[in-house]
Structure 1
Amino acid sequence: MLTRKQHELVCFINDRLEETGVSPSFEEMKEALDLKSKSGVHRLISALEERHFIRRLPNRARALEVLRMPERPERKAAPAAAASVPAPAARGNVRPAPQPANDVVEIPLHGRIAAGVPIEAFEGSSMLAVPAALLGSGEHYALEVSGDSMVEAGILDGDYALIRRTETARDGEIVVALIEESEATLKYFRREGAMIRLDPANRAYEPQRYTPDIVRVQGKLSGILRRYD
């Protein structure tokens, strides 16, 4: 599921390729989406690459290829069961939560980690039944994972990430980070000099570096729920 801006960008790139056969420039993409800076374009393109909607063609400047176009999201049937796995952005419909089992608690299910808006915007959206053994102390919420940027940490597309609310993190912890109050992402948190580095767990993607003033930690990963369909 794509955010509104991600959807707008892939459509803009596709239209320009069909019209001229040449990818639009970063400046043209920034103006078309009414973004404040080109860094926002870079984040959107990286997110679209992670979700396999576009790819950059090697050894060619301004070369982007649209791999697939987004479709209208469809609500899927509720999974029959959920199994636990050790812990290692478009806003859309949230998949039905796994069915409750014995010794479970319900926590808020706020949407997909690629939703592209602050986590607070999802308050009260739905509830997820979670085995109590997966949660420690503190307040928790859940997010549905989108994309493959954390696959080498055992976090797959469609998993439910169980997040403990916190505004602080230590190096090496997997966090929900909100960038410029607009885009949420699940990444390894690290400090690199005066910068914050958000590392994917997929060698196909590059780390993301930001100044501390535009990154806000919204929680740390406590566990993962996975559906087996």
Structure 2
Amino acid sequence: MLTRKQHDLLCFINDRLGETGVSPSFEEMKEALDLKSKSGVHRLISALEERGFIKRLANRARALEILRLPDAVKSAAPAKAAKDNVVPVEPRKVIEVANDVLDVPLHGRIAAGLPIEALEGQSSLSVPAALLGPGEHYALEVAGDSMVEAGILDGDYALIRKAETARDGDIVVALVDENEATLKYLRHEGQMIRLDPANRAYDPQRYRPGQVRIQGKLAGLLRRYQ
């Protein structure tokens, strides 16, 4: 069951493809649905993907594929003539998503060394939409070098998908004692939670489960070159 906005977006994309063969941009989708930001479009696309109406193509960073349409949309489409009692099947539509950017909240700096206070800021970071998968995201600027062996460097921007749970081996944002956050590998060690660095110069950190709260999982990185 789709929400009204999800249904309207799917129909808008389908109609535009039928008219021009070209997908609307995130900006056009935003205006058509009267949304306040392109982040809202991204959330709707993520929801449609999760419900099996569209699919992101892994080998084409800016492409989505329409897998199916709501019954009401299909029934409204004009019937095609059959030949020899064989009804042609309409090929699945591939839509090329424009190289749009989304503004995600930028919540200060996070330690990739010892934990530091997680800052809540009002600024944002522009991120190519193709880098973000399903879900709600935010960004943190990395401070420190304890994750260098995982390719995460001081000054990078970590793109975090909001989550409250994670599996062993995931790189997570862990809030320690409700006031300090760190970016580490998550491990369970007996009755303890171990936060592992990716730098042999640093030791693992061990905490009781009640001391650690997962706030998200690493979804990607942005790096600026001077």
TM-score between the two structures when normalised by the length of structure 2: 0.54
Aligned ranges 1:7-156 → 2 under 5 Å? 102-114=99-111, 116-118=116-118, 122-123=120-121, 125-156=122-153
Higher relative contact order (CA 8 A, sep 6+): 1
SS of equivalent to 1:145: strand
Shift of 1:133: 1.3
SS of equivalent to 1:220: strand
Q: Deviations over 1:127-182 (max 9, x none)?
A: 11101111111100000000000000000000000000111010000000010011
Distance 1:169 1:225 in 2: 22
- Unaligned residue ranges in structure 2 (runs of 5+): 1-97
Distance 1:106 1:182 in 2: 26
Preserved contact between residue 148 and residue 199 of structure 2 (Cα < 8 Å): yes
- Of 165, 169, 179, the match for 2:166: 169
Preserved contact between residue 137 and residue 159 of structure 2 (Cα < 8 Å): yes
Aligned length: 126
Preserved contact between residue 161 and residue 219 of structure 2 (Cα < 8 Å): yes
For residue 191 of structure 2, what is the amino acid of its counterpart?
Answer: A
Preserved contact between residue 152 and residue 201 of structure 1 (Cα < 8 Å): yes
SS of equivalent to 2:149: helix
Larger radius of gyration: 2
1:181 aligns with 2:178: yes
- Of 216, 222, 226, the match for 1:219: 216
Distance 1:195 1:103 in 2: 43
RMSD (Å), alpha carbons: 1.6
- Of 192, 196, 200, the match for 2:193: 196
Q: Deviations over 1:172-200 (max 9, x none)?
A: 00000010011100000011111000000
- Unaligned residue ranges in structure 1 (runs of 5+): 1-100
Shift of 1:221: 0.2
TM-score between the two structures when normalised by the length of structure 1: 0.53
Preserved contact between residue 117 and residue 181 of structure 1 (Cα < 8 Å): no
Distance 1:206 1:117 in 2: 19
Aligned-residue identity in percent: 75
